[in-house]
């Protein structure tokens, strides 16, 4: 994980108790009843454990394809909320997960909260952005990309949101 720790995920276990508890028996070749051994397996362990490992591994900063909220639109003032909702709808129509922060907080507080939540993209909208069909883009890393057209933001975010495909290595020889 992010701290260099190792975690157990896959398990295979012998269970000697459940066959007895459920009174499970089988008739063997010798005609006598025998108690079986039970084998449990969990490919990823429990779902809770698996998600806990993901959280620890990424320290909460999930990659774009896995982030529950990929972008938050931050209107500078209440009068910018309608445009913020338009931007959000455009992103949603492109298959992206986005929220609009309509709280009456200051813009800097909204940005700080989005950074604490480790949202990959913060899209700030005000008068200039509404007039030009854009949003000021700030990444969770703190990098400021300045104002970009919404279509360009969508293209960039969709590229980063592609679910990676696993290609098994070819066997040697």
pLDDT number for residue 45:
62
- What is the bridge-based pairing of β-strands 71-75 and 121-125? parallel
pTM: 0.72
3-state secondary structure of 163: coil
- CA gap 128, 158 in Å, rounded: 24
Burial 7-39, CB ≥16 within 10 A → b, else e = eeeeeeeeeeeebeeeeeeeeeeeeeeeeeeee
Average pLDDT, the chain: 90
Q: Is 136 a residue whose pLDDT tops 90?
A: yes
Given a cut of 80, whether residue 103 has pLDDT beyond it is: yes
Predicted local distance difference test score (pLDDT) of residue 31: 93
**57 vs 104 pLDDT, higher one:** 104
- Domains delineated in the chain: 11-58 (no CATH), 71-160 (3.40.50.800)
Predicted local confidence at residue 13, as pLDDT: 81
Confidence of residue 16 (pLDDT cuts 50, 70, 90): confident
Each residue of 29-78: pLDDT tens digit?
999 999 998 887 776 667 777 788 888 888 889 999 999 999 999 999 99
């Amino acid at each position: 994980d992010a701290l260099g720790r190792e975690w157990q995920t896959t398990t295979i276990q012998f269970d000697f108790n459940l066959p007895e508890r459920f009174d499970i028996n089988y008739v063997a070749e010798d005609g006598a009843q025998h108690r079986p051994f039970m084998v449990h397996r969990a490919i990823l362990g429990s779902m809770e454990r698996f998600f806990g490992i993901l959280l620890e591994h990424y320290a909460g900063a999930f990659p774009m394809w896995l982030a529950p909220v990929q972008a938050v639109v931050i209107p500078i003032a209440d009068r910018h909320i309608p445009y913020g909702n338009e931007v959000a709808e455009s992103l949603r129509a492109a298959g992206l997960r986005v929220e609009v922060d309509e709280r009456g907080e200051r813009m800097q507080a909204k940005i700080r909260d989005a950074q604490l939540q480790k949202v990959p993209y913060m899209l700030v909208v005000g008068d200039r952005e509404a007039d030009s069909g854009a949003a000021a883009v700030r990444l969770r890393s703190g990098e400021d990309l300045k104002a970009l057209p919404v279509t360009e933001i969508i293209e960039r975010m969709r590229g980063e949101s592609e679910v990676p495909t696993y290609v098994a290595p070819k066997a040697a020889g």
